[in-house]
Structure 1
Amino acid sequence: MRTISRRRMVKLSMLGSMAGAFGFSSSFGKVLAIMSTPSETEGPFYPVNDQRDKDADLTQVDGHTGIAQGQHIIVSGQVTDIAGNPIDKVLLDIWQADANGRYRHPRDPNTAKLDENFQGWAVIRSDSSGLFRFKTVIPGAYPASSNWIRPPHIHFKISKQGYRALTTQMYFPNEALNKTDLLLRNKSAAEQSVMIAKKANQQGNLPIYEYNIVLDLLHK
């Protein structure tokens, strides 16, 4: 797999052989098999105009009385290392299109109407157990070119001292456009499986999507 270095693959293979030789449980093998989250392009719409409101609720903008259009959801997950250990106080920089498929970016060519009540950008940190959670909307699909429609996705930049900085994209399950997306289909099946969020239980009327992130150490 492209996201795991040759040295790490050799190490995991050796540890896996040891686990089999000494009769460790299958859960040990699952821990060893954790894949680091694949990287992906930042895209052209990373926010360029700073804003005061970058909290974990993207469905409301500070000072606005209205709420964001579209299906409101919760995205939650945990940041761990490749051995499954939680990483605390990780910085997560999150941005996405609104429910109309429009970014809060001055150079977005999409003619869809911008939802002024959608925050569009959040900067949060994982807690002491590596857990994070934010409220947002399912982003709309939008044309990246005349023959390419991007599926709903959320952009992440993740950073923590001592770990490799990661830029990636989270996708949604059961989206028909996932199959034709030029970026996602360039990933292996295993990589796609960790980039597509899992539908979890609801919180009231809010669907919850689980998206876990695995970081590599800076020096291996």
Structure 2
Amino acid sequence: MREIVLDTETTGFDPETGDRIVEIGGVELYNHVATGNTYHQYINPERSMPEEAFQVHGLGDEFLRDKPKFAEIGQAFLDFVGDARLVIHNASFDMKFLNAELRWMGLRQLPMDQAVDTLAIARKRFPGSPATLDALCRRFNIDNSSRTLHGALLDSEILAEVYLELIGGRQPDLVLTRRSDDGDSGTDSWRPRPRPTPLPSLLTDAERAAHEAFVDTLGDSPLWRQ
């Protein structure tokens, strides 16, 4: 199963009033294991960066001026995401911005059911407790000391660790895969093959005789003789 742990940084809170995305970061997981494949893009928002947003993100107008506009990277972003599940903290916020930008470009939008909201998971697991990314890092003893400013890729990397803890730890389920002859790892459709040589029976002669005697009492066509 392919997942993208995703984060965006924006100029404000509402794309419908003129706010835009200034940064996207994503970390790829496969079967809950980081593959090392990431997506990171700064974006020219085509507007000035408000002072309060600059204080949070550290991204100013001069830095963003020569970065590509969303229209120049939108298709590449969709190609990276594909149909992977999107793991996002407060998913409705990021999806609102992403779909606004995609809609303005005339590109396909991302359905909400493609997203998994780690904020909702945290609130369900720990009702009444703080559920910010920093609070969850403290709960799970995840080092976020480098997070002095909000950055999309760094936040995605931290969120990936938080997500794995939220769903049950670094090994949330037992995934048995094999390596094929050409070196590729197995897929979710893999099933074990029959043993080439059946295992020997552990029944003793006395146990086998007792079973046969019991079956004789069950009539003409018991299940064990069909």
Shorter-chain TM-score bucket reads under 0.3
The TM-score normalised by the length of structure 1 is: 0.24
Whichever structure has more helix as a proportion of its residues is 2
Higher RCO, 1 vs 2 (CA within 8 Å, ≥6 residues apart): 1
Whichever structure has more strand as a proportion of its residues is 1
The TM-score normalised by the length of structure 2 is: 0.24
